[in-house]
Chains A and B, each alone.
Chain A
Amino acid sequence: MRSFKSIQFNQEKIVFAIAVVMFVIFSVTLKGFLTSGNVVTLVQSVSILGVLGIGMALTIIGRGIDLSMVATMVISVAWVLSLANHGLALPLAILYGLGLSLAVGLINGILIAFIEIPAIFATLAMGTVVYGFGHAALVESDVIFLPKAIPWFKAIGGSSVAGIPSPVLWFAIFAVLAFLFLRVTRPGRFIYGMGDNPQAARIVGIPARPMMVLQYVISSLIGFAAGVVTATLVDSMNTRVAASTLVYDVILVVAIGGVGLSGGKGSIRNVIVGTLLIGILLNGMTILDMPYTFQNIVKSVILLIAIVTDSILNPRDEQTSQQGDI
């Protein structure tokens, strides 16, 4: 009895187990799944989702959420490309884009930390503002193409080192940086404190409001970075992605891996596990040549199974549920 109890099932482990099981099943049944080339492709196809997931996880752990992340990403990067296409020096254009995403992060942070608008509403509205303003004033088209013949820029997302594509490397770099930030640095620990109990965090002297602003600035900048990698990978920026379900996919990757939406719980490892599960699923279904609508059904059913299993194994009670839980 005791030995059974000592095995703690939690969502991360369940999702990891599902991922492993699916990986094994696909490896055995699908010809060409378990080749080094395909496994690299598998990770690459979810790397950008993973990078966005890391930024989102930082805000969710701190008891927030950033729904404007994708809109900021597409508009700031599309603006960079547009400026460069109209003749501005690319490094300067990148500075402009960086400045824009920094400003959006700052405004988000101030709205949430100082004016005390709930994060979900502030960033939802901000996403629409950024997209609308961007289309009205900054970029002329839905799809902006990469400026021609700038090899160093193209190399950011469209190159590989020792056979590993650069988006995978960026995912790894951001994962390590975010891991160190959360585990080792003082602000990182503060984010957990604030996420777990914001009132207590303030009482013990954590500068809660400036820390919240920092959180949104970081998520916004990570969004910009993910956008630059995307644009240089596929030679263009499709701003219509802002109106797609991408932002919810990002939240899904974070939540499915076991980062509690109520804040204070989870780590970068959860994001990696969630991202890999989605990657295995997408890759396997593509190889199976499953029809589009059927893929959507399978994706949602597997996600539901993970969540249901978690609530059966870890039922909610007064101790585990928190106020503000979504």
Chain B
Amino acid sequence: MNIRKYVLAGAAIGLIGMAGAAYADHVDDGQWAATAKDMKDKTVAYMPFSMGFDLAQGWAAAMQHSADKWGYKLVIQDPNWNTSAGVQALGQLIAQKPDVLVVQPPDPQSYAKLIKKALDDGIRVVQINMESVTRGDAYVGSDWYDVASTEMDLVEKACGKAAGKNGKIALIPGIPTNPGQMIGTQAINDKLKQYPDLQVVATQAAEYDPTKAHDVVLTILKQYPDLCGIPGTWDGQDVGTAAAIKEAGKTGQVYLVTSGGGRQAAACDYVANGGYSAYVSYDGKGQGRDLVNATERLLQAGSDKAGTHPFGLYSPLKIITKETMTTGSCWTLEDIKANGS
């Protein structure tokens, strides 16, 4: 009995060994073997500003999928929205000397020195969704100016003179001094000059909190019952704006555009139920793919000095409305985890 067991176990091990050998003997088209060799057993460190939001989780899932495929190691750090914790964690990551460092800076300044140190130490740096003043090897992410401009274009189309509307809009920024927000505000101001038919009747910050957004928008709607549009800030905040518009019985009358990573439950579901008139998506799944591509490219950069050929991959924007929405317009985390980006 025992002998049979050993024989079976031996056979199983043999089979696994053959499978491994088969992997190593993957048909080489002249490129595959070199690509695989460049990435195997390397280390990639990933530190978003927080792991608590859908985009960062989507990016992580996309990179994990690539890491599993090519056999490199993915190390994740979560500073949980805390800049000083981020600075500390980034220092530790650099000390571990990963081959590629993927980092989302909270603002252009805080990580600048550390990113320079990483480059000096020969670590290749990918920055995602926010560019630090120190340029790394790659920038992958949104063009915040473009996001806000696109929102303003949509609002003008719905509320401007050409649409026969009064042009009254309200702005609900997150925190006015936030760096990403400041780029957006710049875009909004430029667009307001371009569209003199739009008139800002109120500007009230909501601190990225849906409850605050709900309260200020409800008050604004009482003051300006003929309000035509709101170029929103971020889906996590504007879910409250949408609730306030619905509560005031103005769904469909007030044109609400928001923006975000385009996750199914945060984007398409709300476009479908009429909460958002339009949604400007920077497509977290597509960003995941860009991120994976940039990382894989840098793992294969050979002896190039870190930071010598910086490049940018700006996310193409998707405008999602009831009319343009298809089953592939949004993504789910489960899908990226299972199938990659």
Contact = CB atoms under 8 A, between A and B. Distances in A.
Interface of A: 32, 35, 37-38, 41-42, 44-45, 48, 85, 135, 140-143, 145, 148, 158, 165, 230, 233-236, 238-241, 243-244, 282-283, 286-287, 289, 291-293
B211 A230 contact: yes
B50 interface: yes
Given A143-B53, A148-B269, A244-B207, A45 B219 contact: yes
Contacts of B52: 135, 141-142, 239-240
Contacts of A287: 219, 223
Counting chain B CB atoms within 10 Å of each CB, the highest count among A48, A141, A234 belongs to: A234
A277 to B, nearest CB: 16
19 contacts: A41-B215, A41-B218, A41-B222, A45-B218, A85-B265, A141-B57, A142-B50, A142-B236, A143-B236, A145-B269, A233-B211, A234-B211, A236-B210, A238-B211, A238-B236, A240-B52, A286-B202, A292-B173, A292-B204
B208 to A, nearest CB: 8
B210 A234 contact: yes
B169 interface: no
Contacts of A148: 269
B53 A37 contact: no
Nearest to A131: B80
A52 B43 CA distance: 47
A60 B16 CA distance: 66
A283 B240 CA distance: 17
A54 B52 CA distance: 31
Nearest to B235: A143
Interface string B208-239: 11110111101110110000000000001001
Contact of B243 (A85, A233, A291): A233
A235 B220 contact: no
Contact of B209 (A158, A233, A235, A241): A241
Contact of B240 (A42, A234, A292): A234
B120 interface: no
Nearest to A139: B52
Interface in B68-117: 80-81
Given A283-B219, A292-B176, A243 B211 contact: no
Contacts of B50: 142
Contacts of A235: 210, 239-240, 242-243, 275
Contacts of B215: 41, 44-45, 282
Given A38-B219, A234-B243, A145 B214 contact: no
A128 to B, nearest CB: 12
A113 to B, nearest CB: 32
Nearest to A237: B210
Given A45-B219, A143-B53, A230-B211, A236 B81 contact: no
B203 interface: yes
Contacts of A236: 210, 236, 239-240
Given A41-B219, A234-B240, A235-B243, A145 B265 contact: yes
B243 to A, nearest CB: 5
Contacts of B239: 143, 145, 234-236
B266 interface: yes
A142 B208 CA distance: 12
A48 B211 contact: yes
Contacts of B203: 289, 291
B54 interface: yes
B183 interface: no
A65 to B, nearest CB: 23
A37 B219 CA distance: 9
A240 B214 CA distance: 16
B247 interface: yes
A140 B219 contact: no
Contacts of A44: 215, 218
Contacts of A291: 176, 203
A240 to B, nearest CB: 7
Given A143-B239, A234-B243, 10 more contacts: A35-B222, A41-B215, A158-B247, A235-B243, A236-B236, A283-B219, A286-B204, A286-B216, A286-B220, A287-B223
Counting chain A CB atoms within 10 Å of each CB, the highest count among B81, B208, B223, B240 belongs to: B223
A31 to B, nearest CB: 8
B211 to A, nearest CB: 5
Contacts of B325: none
A50 to B, nearest CB: 13
Contacts of B209: 238, 240-241, 244
A225 B222 CA distance: 28
A-B pairs with lowest CB-CB distance, top 5: A292-B205, A142-B52, A45-B215, A234-B240, A234-B210
Interface string B189-214: 00000000000011111011111011
A282 B211 CA distance: 14
Contact of A240 (B81, B218, B219, B247): B81
A135 B53 CA distance: 11
Interface in B33-81: 50, 52-54, 57, 80-81
Given A158-B247, A234-B240, A287-B219, A145 B266 contact: yes
Contact of A165 (B173, B220, B247): B247
A165 B175 CA distance: 28
